[in-house]
Structure 1
Amino acid sequence: MLPVDVQFVVGLSGYFVKDLAAVRHSPSYNPLTDTAIRPRTSGFKSVVQPGQVISIILHLPNGSTAIGDCADVIFSGAASRDPLFIAEDNLPILHTVVKKWLLSCDLSQFRPNAEYLSSTWPQLNNRKLHSALRYGLSQALLAATAQVYSCTIAEIISREWGTHIAKHPVDILASCHRNDTLQLDRMIMKQVDLLPHASFVHVSDIGSNGAVLLEYIAFVARRVKERKAVGYTPRLHFDVYGTVGDIFTNTDQLVEFFGMVQRAAEPYEVLIESPIIANTKEEQIRRLAELRGLLRSKDVKVKTVADEWCNTLEDIKEFACAGAVDYVQIKMPDLGGVDKSIDAVIYCKSKGVGCCLGGSANETDVSARITAQVALAVRPDFLLSKPGIGADEGLMILRNEMLRGVALAGRAKTWCRL
C-alpha cells in the first residue's frame, strides 16, 4: 500500500516560540512588550515569535488522506534541543528529498517507516531531519497505517508494540495561565486530574526567596478546597523553569524551600517541573539526583519532573537510570518520531519511573489527537494539555479523542488483514 501523492502546507501552531536564553538573562521580562531584549538563540529574530507548522498530507489509493503536523516546542534551541523550526527553511528538503521517499513507503506497517525516518539521510550528508519534521512525518505515516486497516492509531501501536489499550482515558494536566483565575476555576469545575502547570519562566516570577511562588501554590490549594466537588483530589503541578534553582543554589536550601512548598500545597500532592536548569546534561542529572535523594531523606514529599536536557530517547534513558527525578516529561516534538515517544513511555514504565506524555502548547489539534491515541496504547502516568494554553480546548481535544478511542477499540472487529 503506497501513497499516491503528498502535499506540504505551511500553517500556524497553537502558541508561539520564545528565546529561553534571552528570557532567563534579562533583568525583567514581559513577553510581548519588552521589545528591547535582544535574541540570544540562533534562528530567533525576536525574543517572542509566532509558531509555524508544516502539515504533511498523504493521499492514499482509496481517496482518503492521512495528516501529521511538523511542530517544535516553545523554547526551541534550548538545552540541546534542535534549532528553531522555520518552515521556509525546511520546505525545500521536503520537496527535493523526503517526498520521493514518502511515495515509496509501504504503509502496511508503521515501525519500519519510522525507523528509517529517524536515521541519518545520505541525501543530507548523513544528517538527521529536524526533529519537527520527524515528528510530523511520523504522525502522518502512523495515521496512514491506521487508514490501511480501518482502525484506530492506538490499535496499530498495540499490534506493533504488543501493548494493551487503556480502558479509560489517561489523566490530563491542564495548563493554565497564572493570572487567569476564571480559567483555574473552570478546570476545578471540570475536575481535571492535575493543574495548573502555570509557568514561572523568570526569577522575578517567583519573587524574592520564592515568596510569590509559595503564595500562588497556597492560593491554588485553597481555591481547590473552596470549590471542589466531594472526592475530587487533584495533583498540583508547577513548572518553574529552573528559577528556584537559580535562587537556591545550595541543595540543602532548595530542600528546605520544597518543604515550604509541600506545606503550602496541603493536602494535595505537588509536582515541581524543572526545579533546576544546569549548563550541561551531566550536571543536570547529577544535581537533580542529589536533590531527589535529599528530598527523600528529609521526608519532603514534593515530586520532581525533568524537562530541559531530557529531550531524546537516549536522554530519557539516562535520567531514568540515574533515578534523577520522579517523572520525566516526554516532550514529543523533541523526540522526533512518534515511535521514540512510544519507546520512551515503555522504557520509563519498565524502570519504575513516572512519565508525562507531554509536548508543547506550540503544537496543533492534529498532533494532540495523535498524542491521545498514543496515550491509550502505552498508558503514561498523565498527559499535558495541548495545543495552546487555553486549557479548555486542549482538555476537550485530548479527553474526547481518548473517549472515542476507548469506544472504538472495544468494538467487535476483524481488522489486521489487508
Structure 2
Amino acid sequence: MQIKDILLAPGNGAFFYDDQEAIRSGATQDGFIYIGAPTTPGFTSIRLPASSLSIGLVLADDTVVWGDMMNVQYSGAGGRDPLFSTNQISGLTSRVVAPRLLDIDASHFRDSCKKVFGPVEHQRLPLSVEYGVSQALLRAAAHLQCKTMAEIICAEFGLQLPTCRVPIYCQSGDAREVNVDKMILKAVDVLPHGLINSRQKFGVEGQTFLEFVKWVAARTREIGRPGYHPVLHFDLYGWIGQEIGLEPRPIADFICRVAESVPGFSLNIESPADFGSTQAQIENYAEIVSILDNRGSSARIVVDERCNTLEDIRLFAEAKAAHLVQIKTPDVGSIADTARAVLLCKANRVGAYVGGSCTETDLSAQVSVHVSVATQADMMLAKPGMGVDEAFSIVGNEQNRVFAMLSRRQARNENVG
C-alpha cells in the first residue's frame, strides 16, 4: 500500500473570488471592495477572500505529498465551475476520492488519475478536486520514482527532457503603473495583463486602454535595460465587444489600431469579446484571427472565456480560433489534462499558454511550472496573487531549480555512459 492515509487542510487562495457579471454591469469600486449586490450564484458579496483545500497523501514511508484545490478568480462566469466551497469539497473528497486513493499504485501518474477521477453518479468530479488531487499524485509519483515532476510528465507522455526555459508572464492587478515598473525592472518576458475589466479602465471606444498600451511601451523603453524587449499582453475581459460591438471586423480593426500604436512590440490581446457560448466564441474568434492574419498584423488573439476544459481547448485549437490558448489550469481539472492540452495545441500549431489564476497557491504554481517545462509550453503565468514579486519568484525560482536538477541528472548520465 503506497498511500496509507489522506489528510485535508483548509487554506487560503492568494487573492479573491470576484463576481465578474456584477463588475461588468457597473459595480462601483470603493478602495479594494466593490459596492453593490452580487449577481452570480454563490456569491454573498461581489468580492470574497479566496479559499482553498489542501490534500495530503501519506505515503508508506510517512512522507506526505500535497496538492491544493481551488477555483479561479471569476468563478461561475464564462461556463466555469461555481464558487468554491471548502465544506462541500471536503465532504466530497472524504466520501468519494479518499477511498479510491487508498487503492491505487501511486507510482504511475496517469493511470492513478484515470482510476481516481472516475465519475460520481454519472457526473464528473468538480474540476477543483481533479486539480488538487492530481498535483498530489504527481508529487507522489516523483517521490516514489526519485525523479522531478517534470521528468514524470516527460516519461508518461513520451517527451524528450526539456532544454529551453519557458517565458514567464506577469499580471499587474489594479496597481498597474507600480507593477509595470516592477516587471520592467525584473525583465519579465511577457507583461503586464492590465486587468482591463470595466468600462472605466477601457474607456470610450477604448481610448483609455489605448493610452495605457502606449504608456507601457514607452515606459519599457525608458527604464528597461538595454536589449530588453518583452511581449505586451493585455487581458480585456471582453471589453472590445462590450464597447465597440460583437462584429468580428470592427474588433479586428481596433486590435490592428492598438498594434500599430506600439511598433516594434509583439502584442497579445486576451479575451477581446465574449460571444456568449463556446460555439459562438469559436466561430467569431476564428474570423478575427483570419482577418488579422490576412492583414499581416503582429497582434495575436488569446482565448480564455468559453475555453475551459480539455475538450473546449481541442475545439478552439482545431478551428484555429486563437493564436494562443490560455490553458487555465484549475478550469482544465487534472494536471494531466493540462499536459494533454499543451500537446494538443502544439499538434494543431496553436500557441499554448499555461495560465491559471491569482487565486491559486504556491504549491499549484510549482506543479504548473513542471508541466509547462516538460511540455515546453509557449509561456506560463507567474502565479499566485497579484503582487508580481511573489508570483515571479515562486514560478521563476522553481523553473531554475528544475533545470538545475535536470542538468545534474544529464551530467551524471553522461559520466556513466
TM bracket (short chain) = over 0.9
Letter in 1 for 2:213: I
**What is the CA distance between 1:203 and its match in structure 2?**
2.1
| Counterpart for residue 24 of structure 1 | 24
CA positional deviation for 1:63 = 2.0
Structure 1 counterpart SS, 2:83: coil
Residue-by-residue CA offset, 1:163-183 (whole Å, 9 max, x unaligned): 123223210001113544232
Aligned AA (2:227): G
Offset, 1:30: 5.2
Q: Does 1:204 align with 2:200?
A: yes
Q: Deviations over 1:265-293 (max 9, x none)?
A: 22211100000111111111111111111
SS at match of 2:34: coil
How far apart are residue 148 of structure 1 and its match? 0.3
Partner of 2:287: 290
C-alpha contact 2:104 2:115 (8 A) present in aligned 1: no
- 2:249 aligned residue: 252
In structure 2, distance between residues paired with 1:180 and 1:270? 17
- Contact 1:168 / 1:403 at 8 angstroms: preserved in 2? no
Please tell me whether residue 271 in structure 1 is matched to residue 255 in structure 2.
Answer: no
Whole-angstrom CA distance in 2 between matches of 1:120 and 1:356: 28
**Where does residue 308 of structure 1 map in the other structure?**
305
Which whole-Å CA distance do the structure 1 matches of 2:302 and 2:31 have between them?
25
Q: 1:30 to 1:300 in 2, by over 3 A?
A: farther
Tell me if the contact between 2:202 and 2:208 (Cα under 8 Å) persists in the aligned partners.
yes
The residue identity in structure 2 corresponding to 1:56 is I
Is the CA contact 2:76–2:82 (under 8 Å) kept in the aligned structure 1?
Answer: yes
- Contact 1:255 1:300 survives alignment (8 Å): no
State whether residues 203 and 244 of structure 1, in contact with CA within 8 Å, keep that contact through their aligned partners in structure 2.
Answer: no
Per the alignment, residue 81 of structure 2 pairs with 82
> Would you say 1:185 and 2:184 are equivalent positions?
no
Which residue identity lines up with residue 10 of structure 1 in the other structure? P
Which position in structure 1 is the counterpart of 2:215? 219
Superposed displacement of residue 162, structure 1: 0.8
Matched ranges for 1:16-415 at <5 A: 16-26=16-26, 28-29=28-29, 32-35=32-35, 37-121=36-120, 125-249=121-245, 250-412=247-409
Structure 1 residues 143, 220: closer, same or farther in 2, change over 3 A? same
Moved more, 195-204 or 304-313: 195-204
Consecutive unaligned residues in structure 2, runs of 5 or more = none
Give the % identical residues: 35
- Taking structure 2 as the reference length, the TM-score comes to 0.95
Q: Which amino acid aligns with 1:223?
A: R
SS of 1:114's equivalent in the other structure is helix
* Aligned equivalents of 1:234, 1:332: Cα separation in 2: 24
Q: CA deviation at 1:31?
A: 7.6
1:153 Cα deviation after fit? 0.3
Partner of 1:398, secondary structure, is helix
The CA deviation string for residues 170-209 of structure 1, in whole angstroms up to 9 with x for no partner, is: 1000111354423212211111110001111112211001
Q: CA–CA distance in 1 between the matches of 2:59 and 2:316?
A: 40
Native 8 Å contact 1:118 1:336 kept in 2: no
Render the CA deviation track for 1:67-120: whole Å, top value 9, x for unaligned.
000011001111111111110111111222221111112111000111233331
Q: Give the secondary structure class of the aligned counterpart of 1:411.
A: helix
Query: Do 2:353 and 2:378's aligned partners in 1 also have CA atoms closer than 8 Å?
Result: yes
Mapped partners of 2:64, 2:40: distance in 1 = 37
Q: Mean Cα displacement is larger for which, 307-316 or 265-274?
A: 265-274
Counterpart Cα distance in 2 of 1:345 and 1:354? 8
Shift of residue 22 of structure 1?
Answer: 1.5
The amino acid across from 2:308 in the alignment is N
* Higher mean displacement: 51-60 or 297-306: 297-306
User: Residues of 1 paired with 2:296 and 2:174: CA distance?
Assistant: 29
Asked if structure 1 preserves the Cα contact closer than 8 Å seen for 2:382 and 2:391, the reply is: yes
TM-score (structure 1 length as normaliser): 0.95
Give, as a single letter, the amino acid of the residue that structure 1 aligns with 2:182.
R
**1:117 touches 1:337 (CA, 8 Å); kept in 2?**
no
Alignment partners' CA distance in 1, 2:217 and 2:48? 34
Q: Do the aligned residues in 2 keep the contact of 1:29 with 1:202 (CA within 8 Å)? A: no
Count the aligned residue pairs.
Answer: 410
Structure 1 residue ranges without an equivalent (≥5): none
Give the CA deviation at 1:27: 5.9
Distance 2:308 2:24 in 1: 19
2:365 and 2:402 mapped to 1: Cα distance? 13
Relative distance call for 1:108 and 1:179 in structure 2 (3 A) is: closer
- After the TM superposition, which of the residue ranges 243-252 and 41-50 deviates more from structure 2? 243-252
Q: Provide the rounded CA distance (Å) in 2 between the counterparts of 1:216 and 1:178.
A: 13
